[in-house]
Structure formats: C-alpha cells, structure tokens
Amino acid sequence: MDKLIIRGGNRLSGTIPISGAKNAALTLIPCALLTDEPLTLRNLPRLADIDGFQHLMTQFGASVEIHGKRPEDFGRVVTFEASRLTSTVAPYDLVRKMRASILVLGPMLARAGEATVSLPGGCAIGNRPIDLHLKALEAFGAHIELAQGYVKAFQPDGGMKGGDFDFPVVSVGATENALMAAVLAEGTCRLFNAAREPEIIDLCNLLTAMGAEIEGIGTSDLVIHPVKRLHGATYRTMPDRIEAGSYACAAAITGGAVRLEGAKADDMHATIHALRNIGVHVNEDARGIDIETNGPLKPVNLTTAPYPGLATDMQAQLMALLCRAEGTSVLKETIFENRFMHVPELARMGADVSTEGRTAIVKGVERLTGAEVMATDLRASMSLVIAALAAEGETQVRRIYHLDRGYERLEEKLQLAGADIERVDD
C-alpha cells in the first residue's frame, strides 16, 4: 500500500490543470445504459472510482474503449457501447466500495425494465440512505423490493407511466437516479425540490444531447417529457469544482500563487466567496482561476449547504486552511453527521480544533508540524495533504487509496507547482 511523504514549507507557484469532475463522471457513465448506440465521454479523470465504474459497465455487457492512453496525459476519452445488455445485476463485489454504483439503478430500470443492485458502499462519512432514490422511482411507477442486501426494481406491465415526486430534502444522488429513470418513461415525470448542483446540470445537458426532453435545467423543478428512445452522443465532462477548490486551499495555505487551468468559476461561487473572506485573492477568466495569498489568513464562520451553498465536499479542505488563520473560525456541517474524522489527524500536526456535534471550532495556530497521519475518507485525505504542505518538517499520509478515488495524479500536479511530495511504498 502506498503513502505520501510531504516536506512542508514550499510556496506553491505555477499552473495546476484541473481534471474532469469525478462526481459528474460517475453520473454520466451510466447514461450509456440508456441507449444501444455509442456514448463517448471526454475529459474523464483517471481515478480508481472511474476504473471501478467502467468495470461495472462491462458486467452489464457494455464495451469500454479507452482512447489516448499516453501516461503523461491528464484525463481520458472513453467510449461506452451497450448495444446489448447481458445482465441486469450489479453484484456486491463490484458495488461495495463505491456508493455511486447505485446510479445504475435508474438507467437499467428504464432501458431493461428491471434492475438488481447491491446496496452501496463508499466513504464512511455518515448515514446516507437510498430511500429517496427508491421513493422517486416508485412515484414514477416502479415496483421496488429489498432482499438479502439487494434492491430489486422492475417496471409494471406497460412500463413506467410517469408521475410527480417532491423531495422532502435535497438529494443529489436521488435526483440523478430519478432523472435517468424518467427519460424513457411512458408519461411525463416531474421532480420538485430537486438538487441544483452543477453536476446535475451536466447530467441534464448530456441527456438532452442524447435526445431527452427536460425542462427547468438549473432549477429545483424539473419536468421530463417522454421520448421513445435515446441515441448516442459525444460529450465533455465538466471540470472538477472540488478539485479546483482543494488546490486553491493548498496554494493559499502556503502563501502561494497558482493558476488553476480549466477551473470554472461559475460552478464555485460559494467556495470562492469563502476564500475571499479568508483573505485569498481570486481572479477568474474564461479559461481558469488565479489564486494568490500574500497576507494573513482571516477567520470566518462557514456552514455547508446544498448548492448554491458551500459544498460539504469542501469543508475538510477549508478547515485545514483555517488552521493557519489569525483567530477563531466556526464550521457547521449540515449535510453529513460524521464528517469531522479528519480532526484528530489534524491535531497530530498541531491544529487546535474542537467539535461538538456538527460544529467545529478552529483556533488558528502559528505553525503546524509534520507527523504520521492516516486518511479516513476522500476529502479528509486532502485536508491532511493541505496541512502538510504548510507544516514544518515531514508528514507521512497513509491510506491514500482514498485520495486515488477522487484526485487524479495528485502528487504530480502538486509537484508542477513546486511541492516537495512523493509517493512511496508503505
């Protein structure tokens, strides 16, 4: 198993290319199950979760062709073709490590009329039930059974007739699954209080490119009109707003100046607002975002919320940055109940953070020191890397397989900006 060795103190400077969005890609890939024609996705990041999802697609009989395999390239172009489905089962062994696997439920149900999907796994950041996924599908006419750790869904005779579903709370994954199930329903489907994340818009744009008819894209009320079939398409995955925000925090904590090439500021308003309040200079243009810090970091109060609020996926990284602010900050986590597992590891590096329920109090310290730390989940892993870049001495980050799930060739990108970081066998 690999680990990262980071020797802190280097000021990051240079250009870091931003990859395609992991959270978008894991929603776009299962759209290939909705058509018998090829779907080509550009700018897919090279990540463990993407590889796992590609493997899952072959379980259903889809072919996967990877173009441009040069090792020096960031991102890939991949063509998926599910001309004939050979299975409608997503087994436990393929699903247990990746929560996004549940996103095959909607498209398989829509295309094949049935689907059997193992209950998913993923990061241990709190209880994330899939009840809203299932209730939305039932609202459109699907029959659902839970048995022996599997979700079994099937269409009634004559197909799903459509219907209305009002989300009692905003759910990104349930919105995505419902959208993919709805596009081939026999009747009109309406989603109210749907998630509005940029990744949802990316999904809607792809489905539209494949022939779907969706009203209200970008709003919380979506209307999906029936179409007989979808066709293939070629589509470019949106840039990763969480990766861009993570590298912005890395640059800021080192007092650096970094160009985030390819980042899209329109998808990151809440993160950019938080960074500016902390004292980070952020300049944006059509091709990327410039980050620079040349003064003290300021304490802030932050609360995570569904989009357009501050993404929960940025909480840990911003916490690491605020460990070096001059004063006390307060972070409130409203999305997941167990997303402060990085706090004890930051404390090993000298951070002063206390938690009470879903609130963290961060008292800035004059310095952080290198230590041996262990990653607990994807974004927590990145918070430790950010802290290590500013820490005195050497930090060893273990269990970095979490990082490989969501950050494409992280150490190489940080090396481009001057970080002293290497991957070694543990």
Contact in structure between 53 and 26 (CB atoms under 8 Å): yes
CA distances (Å), origin 64, targets 411, 412, 417: 28, 27, 34
CA distances (Å), origin 176, targets 65, 185, 258, 351: 25, 15, 33, 38
Does the annotation flag 132 for ligand binding? yes
Contact in structure between 8 and 414 (CB atoms under 8 Å): no
3-class state of residue 293 by DSSP: coil
Q: Are strands 394-398 and 359-363 parallel, antiparallel or unpaired?
A: unpaired
Does the annotation flag 338 for ligand binding? no
Does the annotation flag 135 for ligand binding? no
CA distances (Å), origin 202, targets 23, 226, 228, 239: 10, 20, 22, 10
| Tokens 């960031």 belong to residue | 74
Q: Which amino acid is at 111?
A: R
H or E stretch covering 108: helix 105-112
Does the annotation flag 264 for ligand binding? no
Residues in contact with 298: Cβ distance below 8 Å, sequence separation at least 6, in sequence order: 277, 278, 279, 325, 326, 327
Half-sphere exposure at residue 398, Cβ-oriented, CA atoms within 13 angstroms: 7
Active site residues: 123
Residues in contact with 288: Cβ distance below 8 Å, sequence separation at least 6, in sequence order: 18, 259, 260, 261, 262, 263
Distance CA 147, CA 299 (A): 49
Does the annotation flag 22 for ligand binding? yes
| Tokens 């099937």 belong to residue | 154
Does the annotation flag 313 for ligand binding? yes
Residues in contact with 107: Cβ distance below 8 Å, sequence separation at least 6, in sequence order: 30, 31, 33, 34, 180, 181
CA distances (Å), origin 376, targets 218, 235, 341: 33, 33, 7
Contact in structure between 392 and 367 (CB atoms under 8 Å): yes
3-class state of residue 373 by DSSP: strand
- DSSP per-residue letters across 1-26: -EEEEEE--PPPEEEEEPPBPHHHHH
Does the annotation flag 308 for ligand binding? no
Does the annotation flag 335 for ligand binding? yes
Which residue positions form the known binding site for phosphoenolpyruvate?
A: 22-23
Which residue positions form the known binding site?
A: 22-23, 99, 128-132, 313, 335
Which residue positions form the known binding site for UDP-N-acetyl-alpha-D-glucosamine?
A: 99, 128-132, 313, 335
